[in-house]
Amino acid sequence: MDTARLYAAVAAGGFRRYATYRVATAAGVFTNTVFGLILVYTYLALWEERPHLGGYDQAQAVTYVWVGQALLSTLAIGGGGVEDELMERIRTGDIAIDLYRPADLQLWWLAADLGRAVFQLLGRGVVPFAFGVLVFPAAVPSDVGTWCAFLFAVVLAMVVGYGIRFLVALSAFWLLDGTGVVQMAWLVGFFCSGMIFPLNVFPGALGEVVRALPWSSLLQAPADVLLGEADPWRTYVFQAGWAVVLLVLGRLVQAMATRRVVVQGG
């Protein structure tokens, strides 16, 4: 019970920390809206040429764009999650303090990242999404059940996203300067999550591969649940499967890192 309270407090701290920067949040909302606007026109032109591309109609494609803008910073697909700070702590050696804490490293940062993600969803995601579906002809479910199913898929996406980024951050134990890895991670994340283009429109074998990778849990999976294109339970199994694999892998790498690593600093 006490441990649950601890991690809840860490999560609340993560939420409050990001909620402090109101101007930055407003700026983010503005930028997400502008990018959504550009993207939505390209999608409209594309679906005009090829209606029912990837199984979506035009209204569903519009919704997909705004789900993407709502989840971009929530899932830190383009970076900006707790991994930046975690890597900095590994680089400077502050990680030694974290390892001494009577709390689990992976769960501690998971809680902090979930707090951040929930704030980003509310603070940065809701407004661009609402703007987008009100201004453009979009497909939005009217029943509460679909929305609940969607939100649960988003929560699982948050955990998968963290699982990937925790591994990225741990690479700093070996590399110290993680700039290159972070850059690679967001490149792959953008491409494989469906952020630059819906995965179900990817042609042939490339499509098969990207849809099976963990990144498809991030944007494609929740979007398909919202659009009624995927069975929620099968989606949850897929997402939860990757979440478990990634978190277990993270734990193994963490054990390896803490055993062999020399802490930096004087």
Partner 1 sequence: MAEDGWRAEAAKTGRLAEGVRTYRMIAAMWIRSTMAYRASFVMTTVGNFAATALDFVAILLMFSQVDALGGYPLPEVAFLYGLSSVSFGLADLAIGSMDRLGRRVRDGTLDTLLVRPAPVLAQVAADRFGLRRLGRVTQGALVLGYALIELDLQWTPLKLVLMPVMVLGGAGIFCAVFVAGAAFQFVAQDASEVQNAFTYGGTTLLQYPPTIFAQDLVRGVTFVLPLAFVNWVPAAYVLGRPLPLGLPGWTAFASPLVAAVCCALAGVAWRTGLRSYRSTGS
Provide the binding-site residues for partner 1, judged by CB under 8 A.
Answer: 21, 23-24, 26-28, 30-31, 34-35, 37-38, 41-42, 44-46, 49-50, 53, 177, 179-180, 183-184, 187, 190-191, 196-197, 201-203
- Closest contact distance (angstroms) between CB of 154 and partner 1 is 22
CA distances from 249 to 129, 243, 256 (A): 34, 10, 11
Nearer to partner 1, 92 or 179 (CB): 179
Nearer to partner 1, 2 or 49 (CB): 49
Structure tokens at 182: 């972070």
Nearer to partner 1, 105 or 133 (CB): 133
- Closest contact distance (angstroms) between CB of 46 and partner 1 is 6
Nearer to partner 1, 38 or 255 (CB): 38
Determine whether 80 is exposed, middle or buried from the number of CB atoms within 10 Å of its CB (0-12, 13-18, 19+). middle
- Closest contact distance (angstroms) between CB of 36 and partner 1 is 10
Nearer to partner 1, 169 or 181 (CB): 181
- Closest contact distance (angstroms) between CB of 21 and partner 1 is 6
Nearer to partner 1, 61 or 225 (CB): 61
- Closest contact distance (angstroms) between CB of 88 and partner 1 is 16
- Closest contact distance (angstroms) between CB of 68 and partner 1 is 12
Closest listed residue to residue 224, CA positions, set 2, 57, 64, 27: 64
Residues 86/92, Cβ–Cβ less than 8 Å: no
Residues 107/82, Cβ–Cβ less than 8 Å: no
